[in-house]
Amino acid sequence: MSTRLTPSFKVHFKGTAKSVIVFYIVMLALFVIDLILNIIFVGNNNSEFSGIEMIASIFFLVFGISCFKPNLKMAFANCVSRRTEFISTMLSAATYSFIMVFLNAGMVLLFSMTSNSEFAFNQMYSDYAFANGFIKFLTWFLYEFLSLFSSFALGYFIGALYYRMNKGLKIAVSAGVPTILLIGMPIAIGFFGPDSIFVKAIVACMDFLIKTVANPYGAILLALSSVAIFMVLAFLLIRKAPIKEQ
């Protein structure tokens, strides 16, 4: 094991704590505001407050994007290898994913005391028959954990990708990807027609994803594959990353 892994993990763990704490304080504040507004204006506390798991995943995605560059620069400042920096970041993110699964659950339980709040997992797989309670718990845990961790891995990969790109490429990707998805794709679909191979391939992909996610184990496998893919890609990007002045 690298001599710098433990210190690097400690630094990342400490650095992430602040953001995570702020996130949950904001969530709690929003919940309290929602509760107060409902009591004042509607006269009851029968509000709907759910989706914390999804919001937490988006938070972790954004955190993954934004932490890449400052973390790498701090690794350079302290002469830490890129490999150790990558491993310690992933270990820290995995630890926080673990903690956040239970924090999210705690929030859902808290919200459910005063409003209509339900676990996202239960909402998605209410019709699915699990062998027993333990299997359901384990599946729920893996689903939530991998959802959070894959969001972070995707964010970290995007952060690494942007770090490695030059200014021109950054602009091209930032403008090009949304343009292709929002303008190029509808035009292409209209141009090729619904019976074309192009459109059929897109539909088949979407269908595959929907069917995979419809099954909790399929969703877990998909998230696990995403974690593996994004981690490998991010490592390939970081392993030769040079210091940048800006």
Partner 1 sequence: MSTIRLDNVTKCFGQTKALDGVSVVFEENKIYGLLGRNGAGKSTLLNVISNRLFPTVGEVTIDGERASENDHALSKVFCMSDKNLYPDTMKVKEIFEMTKTYYPEFDMNYAQKLSHDFGLNINKKIKGLSTGYNSIYKIILALSSNAPIVFFDEPVLGLDANHRELFYKALIDKYSERPATYVISTHLIEEASDIIERVVILKEGKLILDEDTETVLAGGYAVSGSAGAVDEFCKGKQILGQDVLGGLKTAYIKGQVRRDEIPENLELSKPDLQKLFIQLTN
Cα 142 from Cα 227, distance rounded (Å): 13
Does 74 interact with partner 1 (rule: CB under 8 A)?
yes
Does 3 interact with partner 1 (rule: CB under 8 A)?
yes
Site string for partner 1, 42-71 (x = CB under 8 A): ----------------------------x-
Cα 219 from Cα 101, distance rounded (Å): 16
Does 210 interact with partner 1 (rule: CB under 8 A)?
no
Q: What are phi and psi of 95, to 5 degrees?
A: -65, -45
Closer by beta carbon to partner 1, 31 or else 68: 68
The DSSP output letter for 196 is S
Q: Are 29 and 121 in contact (CB under 8 A)?
A: no
**Which window, 4-12, 34-42, 100-108, 122-130, contacts partner 1 (CB under 8 A)?**
4-12
What's the min distance (Å) between Cβ of 109 and partner 1?
34
Q: Which of 19, 45, 47, 81 binds partner 1 (CB under 8 A)?
A: 81
Does 76 interact with partner 1 (rule: CB under 8 A)?
yes
Does 8 interact with partner 1 (rule: CB under 8 A)?
yes
Instruction: Return the number of other C-beta atoms located less than 10 Å from residue 7's C-beta.
Output: 14
- How far, in Å, are 20, 87, 96, 117 from residue 1 at the CA level? 28, 11, 22, 44
The DSSP output letter for 195 is T
- How far, in Å, are 73, 95, 152, 172 from residue 233 at the CA level? 19, 21, 13, 20
Does 245 interact with partner 1 (rule: CB under 8 A)?
yes
Q: Which of 77, 113, 129, 182 binds partner 1 (CB under 8 A)?
A: 77
Tokens of 167: 């200014």
The count of residues interacting with partner 1 (CB under 8 A) is 24
| Gyration radius of the chain's alpha carbons | 21
Site string for partner 1, 225-244 (x = CB under 8 A): ---------------x-xx-
Does 80 interact with partner 1 (rule: CB under 8 A)?
yes
Closer by beta carbon to partner 1, 2 or else 215: 2
Closer by beta carbon to partner 1, 76 or else 128: 76
Cα 182 from Cα 131, distance rounded (Å): 43
Which residues bind to partner 1, rule: CB under 8 A? Answer: 2-5, 7-8, 10-11, 70, 73-74, 76-84, 240, 242-243, 245
